[in-house]
Amino acid sequence: MTSLTIQQAIFISSKLRAQLDNATEKFRTEFRVPIALNNKSIITEEKNASVHETIGLIESLKSDISNLKTAVHRANCNAQIEFEDKLYTPSELLESLKIERNIVNMLENNISFGYGQERIKTVAGVGIVEEGIVDELYVRSYIEQLESSANNKSMLIDRFNNEYTIEVALNNQI
């Protein structure tokens, strides 16, 4: 068993995923070759061994990635983080954080008037028209509140990921 922080586990999982992608890519590049010439095999035992070795590596990486992700998931579901005098699981905070960030992005996109979206327009036959968001100050205040909450949750989750350790069985050297 290997003892890791959640942050380390996430990083290692990402590295192993890249190794898995490289290993499976060999079947598109290195192993997709002519295999016979005039009905006679031209594949060497070395090439066969390389395929078997690569599949063994794929299985090992698959197992390690699964073990890491499962351990992180368990920690995120079972541990507790205090936020605003209440206890939450890291999963609850993460989900809330994602939702808050999406809301902030959506509201900011709709409240801002960028290129091609002028606030004041002259409309023929109507006059000068100003467009905007209804009760914009209230909406901007709400965005600030969500951003503050999201930043606080993000810091708590980062601290949790840095400090909380998990035990994981790994096949590959890290």
Tokens representing residue 62 in the block: 């698959």
Longest CA–CA separation in the chain, Å: 83
Residue 136: the pLDDT is 92
Residue 13: the pLDDT is 97
Q: Which pTM was predicted?
A: 0.81
Domain positions in the chain are: 2-168
Residue 113: the pLDDT is 73
Residue 3: the pLDDT is 96
Per-residue model confidence as pLDDT tens for the chain (174 residues): 999 999 999 999 999 999 999 999 999 999 999 999 999 999 999 999 999 999 999 999 999 999 999 999 999 999 999 999 999 999 999 999 999 999 999 999 888 876 666 778 888 999 998 888 899 999 999 999 999 999 999 999 999 999 999 999 999 877
Please tell me the distance from the alpha carbon of residue 130 to that of residue 139, in angstroms, as a whole number. 18
First to last CA, the chain: 12
Residue 116: the pLDDT is 60
